[in-house]
Amino acid sequence: MRKKKTLFQNLLSYITYKEKEPIKEFYIPEINEKESSQDQGNIPDHTNKGHERNRGIIKPVPVAEMRKEKTAGQNQASDNTVSTNIQQNMDYINQKFNAPDNKDIIIRQFTIAKRYKAFIAYLDGMVDRVTINHFILAALMENDDKFTNGDESCQLEFILLNVLQTNQAKKLDTPRDVIYEILSGNTVLYVDGCDYYLVNETKGYDKRGVETPQVEGVVLGSQEAFNETLRTNITLIRKYIKNSNLTTEFIRVGIENQQLCAVLSINGLTNPAIVDEVKRRIKSIKSDAILGDGMLEQFIEDNPFSLVPTMLTTERPDRTASHLLEGKVAILVEGAPFCKIVPISLVSLIHSPEDAFMRWPYGTLLRFVRVFAIAISTLLPGLYVALTKFHQEMVPTDLLIAIAKAKENVPFPTVVEVILMELSFELIREAGIRIPGIIGNTLGIIGALILGQAAVQANIVSPVLIIVVAVTGLGNFAIPNYSLALSVRLARFFFIFLGALLGFYGITIGLALIWVSLFNIKSFGVPYFSPVAPKTSRSADLFIRYPVWNQEYRPDYVNALRKKRQTKISRKWTQQNPENNYDREESDDEGR
């Protein structure tokens, strides 16, 4: 009885009025150029507060560490202060890295100028041995004659300035940061009597070279892709943007794995509110481990339940650069060969980096092909089901009879056929990725062909359906964004279901539902359908790609600090007279 009452109450709760506390949403304020030059870098109040508040959150002391802190309390070296005793510091590091159980941490003791006790510490394998051997150890142990003053006080300052031959070296006086540096593959140097460490850049772990893009291949355009090293990736971007205002900010995410995450933006161009919002969201993450950009995306996206991605994933530095120059923000994570770009709208997902490199008619054509591909790969199987189940009148009579003839021996209803074929196609795609090496690619195609042929001969599906499924698959591959392609694959099943249920009516209802859900999505304050709906100013780079010299404005929705990309007449030469023109005088040529 009681349960029934709760059920009733539950039902009642659906139809009774409940006031809810609205959640405040982020939006991108418009900032005038003048204002921004005055308070550049000034962040709006509310985000500032978040900033402050979150500062405590990013460096929390994990429970495990707190325990250790207590045991380390006997020594003077703690998480906050560096002991002046070399032994205590060594013990601290050893204990932090669980030596001697942990064999990765190497502490090498030696004396400098035969007087000063010192040690370096690093993680085996993470460092470049040559640098340590030749430019740290050799420099410190062979330059006895440089140490002339005989002073017993801390020599690190002197060593930093005169002895060490590494390109990057800095002082660090918080042991926690020291540990982090060691973890990142740097070498720390400590000399007895000092209360700080020297950190030398010696990252030397194995990494992949810069290779060609795997997901976003293009014909005309650069063939470089990001790799797993954050540094390399940022360098690749800097190659395209030689601008001192390109700012990289590092944030560590993940309590246990402390992954480094870079937020790139162009100072004075990108709306600072976006940068702050991105930083606010990343900093506020309280999670054990963030292993790559894909995980980070799920933690910071606006609508976790949306079907479509609200961040643009790219593995191309040139594409990243072009978006940065539009006033967007790029997020890179150490260890992931992809970059996330925010904010975006739906149209940027159907753009390909190639578009801008080609002359505008070709670029426009390709875009229309892609829009068509999305439409086909979302709707075609659903439409086929709807057509054959509800709207037979639309099929040309001869084709209809041909389909009926082919279907005569097929025992399944059309929906089952479609779902069967779609599922096998999905299988082939998924298997194609797993099957090792060269076989994988060929098997995908051959598998599809053979499977289709065999299925038709075995009277399991009708031949027209094979064409439908094949075209759908092709359309799916033509979608430039992998995440979008995945969401389209999902939506396709939704439409098959609706088409089987209510025909075109169902499909229209489904389309409307998806549209409505898309209207409700925002990507970092930007409505997903902008600039189509809401209608902002006309865009020169929407579906029809205007000539590059015609694209005078940055996308309206990012509210960049400088709206204009180029002057009204960017091709100044069209207004100038060429030196050699047809109108010149005969005599002009004399003397040449």
Partner 1 sequence: MMKEGNFGIREAVYLTILVLITKIFYTSIRVVVKTTGTASWYSTLISCVTSIVLFLLLYTLMKRFPGKDLVQIFDKVTGKIIGKILSLVFVLYFIYYAGSSLREFVEMIKAYNLPYTPPSLILAAFITVIVSLAYVGLEGISRFAVVSFYPIMVGILAILLLAVPYYNFNAIFPIGGYGISKTLSVGLLRSSAYTEVVILAFIINSIHGVKIFKKTGLISLGIAGIIISATILCSLMAFDYPQGGENVSDLFQLARIIYFNRFFQRIESIFLFIWIMASLVTVGATFYISLSIFCKAFNVEQHRPLILPFSFLTFMVALEPKSLTEVTQRNIAFVRTYSIFILYLIPIFVLLLAFILGKKGAETKHAKG
Partner 2 sequence: MRKVSLLLITLFFFFIMTACTTDGKEIDDQVYALILGLDKGVDNKIRLTIQYPTYKGGGGMQKSEGGGEDKKSGQIDNTVVTTIEASSILEGINLLNTVTSRRISLVHLKKVVFSEYIARQGIKNYLEPLARFREIRRITQIAVCRGSAEDFINENKTLIGESISKSMELMTSQSQNTGYFPKTPFETFYKGILSPYGQAYSTYVGINDFKHLKPLSEATAPLRTEYPILPGEIPRTGDLARETIGTAVFDGDRMVGSLNSYETRYFMMVSGGFEKGIFTLEDRSMPGSAIPFDVRLGRKPKVKVTFNNGVPIIDVNLNIEADIGAIQSRIPYEKLERIDELNDLIADIIQNGIKKTIEKTQKEWNTDIFSFGYQAAKHFFTIQEFEKYNWLRHYKEAKVNVSVQANVRRTGLMTESAPVRYSNQDVLSEEK
The binding site for partner 1 (CB under 8 A) comprises: 14-20, 22, 390-391, 393-394, 396, 502-506, 508-509, 512-513, 515-517, 519-520, 527, 529, 532-535
Least spacing, CB of residue 517 vs partner 1, in Å? 7
Least spacing, CB of residue 572 vs partner 2, in Å? 56
Least spacing, CB of residue 7 vs partner 1, in Å? 17
Positions in 399-418 near partner 2 (CB under 8 A)? 400-401, 403-405, 407-408, 413-414
- β-pairing verdict for 197-200 and 329-333: unpaired
Among 126, 500, 548, 561, binds partner 2 (CB under 8 A): 500
Does 503 bind partner 2 (CB under 8 A)? Our answer is yes
* DSSP states of 30-85: ---HHHHHHTTT---HHHHHHHHHHHHHHS---HHHHHHHHHHTTSS--SS---S-
Does 16 bind partner 2 (CB under 8 A)? Our answer is no
Distances in whole angstroms, Cα of residue 480 to Cα of each of 20, 233, 298, 485: 40, 21, 21, 8
Cα–Cα distance measured from residue 253 to residue 292, given in angstroms and rounded to the nearest whole number? 10
Q: Is the CB of residue 422 less than 8 Å from the CB of residue 461?
A: no
Does 463 bind partner 2 (CB under 8 A)? Our answer is no
Pick from partner 1, partner 2, none: which does 573 bind, CB < 5 to 8 A by kind?
A: none
Cα–Cα distance measured from residue 219 to residue 355, given in angstroms and rounded to the nearest whole number? 10
Does 509 bind partner 2 (CB under 8 A)? Our answer is no
Q: Is the CB of residue 346 less than 8 Å from the CB of residue 308?
A: yes
Distances in whole angstroms, Cα of residue 338 to Cα of each of 81, 311, 509, 527: 38, 12, 36, 24
Q: Is the CB of residue 26 less than 8 Å from the CB of residue 524?
A: yes
Least spacing, CB of residue 82 vs partner 2, in Å? 53
Does 507 bind partner 2 (CB under 8 A)? Our answer is no
Least spacing, CB of residue 512 vs partner 2, in Å? 17
Least spacing, CB of residue 412 vs partner 2, in Å? 9
* DSSP states of 539-582: -SBSSSB--GGG--B--GGG--SS-BSS-S---GGGTSPPSS-T
Does 20 bind partner 2 (CB under 8 A)? Our answer is no
Does 587 bind partner 2 (CB under 8 A)? Our answer is no
Q: Which is nearer to partner 2, 70 or 405 (CB)?
A: 405
Q: What torsion, rounded to 10 degrees, do the Cα atoms 238, 205, 289, 286 define?
A: -50
Q: Which of 207, 228, 215 is closest to 293 using CA atoms?
A: 228
Least spacing, CB of residue 549 vs partner 1, in Å? 28
Draw the binding track, 369-388, toward partner 2 (x: CB under 8 A; -: no contact).
Answer: -------------------x
Q: What are phi and psi of 190, to 5 degrees?
A: -130, 140
Beta strands in 289-372 (DSSP E): 312-314, 329-333, 339-342
Does 220 bind partner 2 (CB under 8 A)? Our answer is no
Q: Which of 225, 227, 221, 231 is closest to 201 using CA atoms?
A: 231
Does 398 bind partner 2 (CB under 8 A)? Our answer is yes
Q: Which is nearer to partner 1, 16 or 38 (CB)?
A: 16
> What order do you get walking across the sheet with 329-333 strand by strand?
246-253, 259-266, 329-333, 339-342, 312-314
- DSSP structural state of residue 155: -
Q: Is the CB of residue 314 less than 8 Å from the CB of residue 342?
A: no
Q: Which is nearer to partner 1, 242 or 535 (CB)?
A: 535
Q: Which is nearer to partner 1, 515 or 549 (CB)?
A: 515
H or E element, residue 499: helix 482-519
| Binding residues with partner 2: total (CB under 8 A) | 25
Interacting span for partner 2 (CB under 8 A) from 360-368, 389-397, 452-460, 547-555: 389-397
Does 419 bind partner 2 (CB under 8 A)? Our answer is no
Does 217 bind partner 2 (CB under 8 A)? Our answer is no
Does 184 bind partner 2 (CB under 8 A)? Our answer is no
Cα–Cα distance measured from residue 552 to residue 247, given in angstroms and rounded to the nearest whole number? 24
Pick from partner 1, partner 2, none: which does 408 bind, CB < 5 to 8 A by kind?
A: partner 2
Least spacing, CB of residue 500 vs partner 1, in Å? 13
Q: Is the CB of residue 192 less than 8 Å from the CB of residue 117?
A: yes
Among 108, 117, 203, 389, binds partner 2 (CB under 8 A): 389
Beta bridge partners of 246: 266
Among 122, 147, 360, 390, binds partner 2 (CB under 8 A): 390
Q: Which is nearer to partner 2, 172 or 511 (CB)?
A: 511
CA atoms within 13 A on the CB side of 73: 7
Pick from partner 2, partner 1, none: which does 513 bind, CB < 5 to 8 A by kind?
A: partner 1
Residues binding partner 2 (CB under 8 A) = 7, 10-11, 13, 388-390, 392-393, 395, 397-398, 400-401, 403-405, 407-408, 413-414, 500-503
